[in-house]
Amino acid sequence: MAGEVEAANAFSKLRILIVDDNAAMRGLVRTVLSAFGCEWIFEAATAQHCLATLRQEPIDLIIMDWKMSPVDGLTLVRMLRSQEKSPCPFVPIIMLTAYTETSKVREARDAGVTEFMAKPFASDSLYLRIQTIVNRPRSFVRTKEFFGPDRRRLKPKDYEGPERREDEYQTA
Amino acid sequence: MSSREKPIEIITPPNMLRVKVGGRLPAADPEAIARAEKALDQLSGEFGNWLGQEVDKLEAALKDVKTHGLAGDHGDALFTVAHDLRGLGSTYEFPLVTRIAASLARLIETPEKRSTVPTPLAEAHVHTIRAALIQNIRTDQDPVGRQLAEELETRVVALVGEPT
C-alpha cells in the first residue's frame, strides 16, 4: 500500500522505553521489540528511573507496567500527563499489565493511557498496538478534570444524539 | 456528561511518529511476528528455570506472610509476586500457573481483602503452583490441574466475589 514502510525499518527508528519492576518481563518485551527491528530500547525498573530517562532521551513510546512500587504505573501515567511537570505530556503509553478486569481498563484509560494490553502478552498484539499508535494516533482532550488521549475510540456514524462534550474546539 | 467536563479542548498534535518512521506501518507484518516468535522460542529452554525463580519468590513471600500476617507490606509483597506470575506463567508455557496466580492475586489484591481472607487459602494457591511445576502440569486440560484451579477459584469467589 502506498505510504507504507517496512516494519523493521520503521521500528529501527523508534525509541521505546520499557517500565516494569520485573526484570524477566522487561527482557521478554525487549526480545520481541528487538525482533521487530527496534534498535533503541531503554529500560526502567521504577518511576524515578523512568522520569530520569525521559529527561535524557527523546522517547517515542512507553510500554509500562501498572503494579510497581513505590510509585505505581497509574500514578506515573498521571504524572506524565501533568502538563506543568511532565517532560513529555503527549507521549504514547501502552499499559501492559496482568490486570484484566473491565474496571481496571477504565481506570487506566481515565488516567491517560493510550492503549491497554493484558499480560500474558502476544507479539502480534504488541505489534498491533504500536501500529495503531503510529498510523492512527488519538487526539488529546483537555478538560478541567482530565488531560490525555481521547477516550472515545469509536465514532458511530449512526449516532444521532446530542454532542455531550459541549464547548468543543480544535487546536493544531 | 456532567458539567464538570466543560469546556473541552481537543488537541490534535502533528503525527511526528509517522514522519519519523517514514510512513504508515503495515496493518500486519507476518515476518516481524515470526521473528518475534522465533526469538521467544529460542529463549524457551530457559523458561522452566525462570518460572522456578518466580515461584521461589512466591514461596519466600508466603513465608514472610506466615510469620507476619497478610496485612501490611508482607501481604502486598505476596500480591506483587502473584500478580507478576499471572502475567508470566503462560509466556513460560504454564497457562495453569497464570490461572492459579490470577486467583491468588484476586484473593489478596487490596489491603481490605488481605485483612480478612484466611492465610491458608493463599498458602493453598502457592502450594498448588509449586505442585504444577513439579508434576509438569502446564494447562487445565489436565483433569487434576483443572479440578484444583476450579476449587481454588470457587473458594476465592465465595470470599471476595466475582471479578468486576
Give ipTM to 2 decimals.
0.87
Residue A157 is predicted with a pLDDT of: 53
Chain B partners within 8 Å of A123 (Cβ) = 33, 36-37, 40
pTM: 0.88
What pLDDT is attached to residue A84? 82
Would you state the pLDDT for residue B164?
Answer: 73
The pLDDT, as a whole number, for residue B28 is: 86
Q: Give the domain ranges of chain A.
A: 7-149
User: Residue B163: which residues within 8 A CB-CB, separation 6 or more?
Assistant: A101, B106
Q: Which residue in A3, A98, A124 is closest to B23 by CB distance?
A: A3
Q: For position B41, what pLDDT does the model report?
A: 94
pLDDT for position A100:
87
Name residues of chain B where pLDDT drops below 70: 1-6
DSSP 8-state symbol, B56: H
Burial class for B4, CB neighbours closer than 10 Å (0-12, 13-18, 19+): exposed
Q: What is the pLDDT of residue A83?
A: 79
Structurally, at CATH architecture level, domain B48-164 sits in: Up-down Bundle (1.20)
Q: Which residue of chain A is at minimal alpha-carbon distance from B79?
A: A67
Q: Which residues of chain A have pLDDT under 50?
A: 166-172
Q: What is the CATH code for A7-149?
A: 3.40.50.2300
Shortest CA distance from B29: residue in chain A: A7
The pLDDT assigned to B6 comes to: 64
Q: Which three cell numbers stand for residue A160?
A: 444521532
